[in-house]
Amino acid sequence: MLKASDPWYIHAVLYVVIAILVVILVKVAIIDPKEIVAVEKYNKTESRLRMDNLKEAEILWEQKFGNFTDDLEGLVQFIEQDPFVDSVVNAFDSLTMKPADPFTPLTHGEFTTDSLFRTPRSGLLYVLQIDTSISYDTTINRRGNITKIDTTTTLGTRYYIEDPDGYGSVGSLDSDALKNTASWE
């Protein structure tokens, strides 16, 4: 009776295949999730910094014009071109002995106004809304007849900025208490 033993090269090939499968498994189970988490963390941080800068731009817009705006393009142009914003950005706070620039640098270290349009993850535009309130005032004469109805429409007393990717929002259209408050604060 002869014993049939497997040739050595079959075992070598099987060990190589097992080693390759272990390397692939480590990459898929350990390395790739770390990269995904790092990208997700970057997107969340970057988006929140952009929304903070949009909030500061809305505050400056309100200081200059007396109300908020829902025009994202106009808001970014206001930041880039308005002398009022330039004077605030270049001002120096003598109390804290620091620059009074309200804008926060983004994760790459600079504040770029062109990045305020879109979210870092999907590239969608940020949702920017303002409230509209209508108040009615009725004047009645002595006989009980309505003589005049005054209608006052107020735009932009509150604003709301939302990231369509779900990383948060700033402000509220319903509550003055949440006027300049971010959802992650």
Residue 71: left if φ>0, alpha if ψ -120 to 50, beta else—which one?
Answer: beta
- Provide the whole-model pTM: 0.76
44 belongs to a structural domain: yes
According to the model, what pLDDT value does residue 138 have? 85
Using a pLDDT cut of 90, give the percent of the chain over it: 45
Q: Which domain holds residue 62?
A: 10-178
Nearest Cα residue to 79 out of 173, 120, 69: 69
104: DSSP letter? P
Nearest Cα residue to 125 out of 134, 116, 114: 116
- Other Cβ atoms closer than 10 A to 18: 10
Under 8 Å between Cβ of 56 and 102: yes
185 belongs to a structural domain: no
The answer for residues whose C-beta is within 8 angstroms of residue 38's C-beta and 6 or more apart is none
How long a stretch of residues is the chain?
185
83 belongs to a structural domain: yes
Nearest Cα residue to 105 out of 164, 46, 180: 46
User: Which residue type occupies 67?
Assistant: N
The DSSP bridge partners found for residue 132 are: 155
86 belongs to a structural domain: yes
Average pLDDT of the residues in 113-141? 89
* 51 vs 12, residue with greater confidence: 51
Confidence of residue 144 (pLDDT cuts 50, 70, 90): confident
Alpha-carbon dihedral of residues 31, 34, 39, 45, nearest 10 degrees?
A: -160
**Which of 65-69, 127-131, 143-147 comes out lowest in average pLDDT?**
143-147
Number of separate domains in the chain? 1
Average pLDDT of the residues in 116-132? 92
184 belongs to a structural domain: no
Distance CA 35, CA 43 (A): 12
Phi, psi (rounded to 5 degrees) for 13: -65, -40
2 belongs to a structural domain: no
Distance CA 142, CA 130 (A): 39
Q: What is the CA radius of gyration of the chain?
A: 29
4 belongs to a structural domain: no
According to the model, what pLDDT value does residue 151 have? 85
3 belongs to a structural domain: no
Q: Which two tokens stand for residue 109?
A: 């270290």
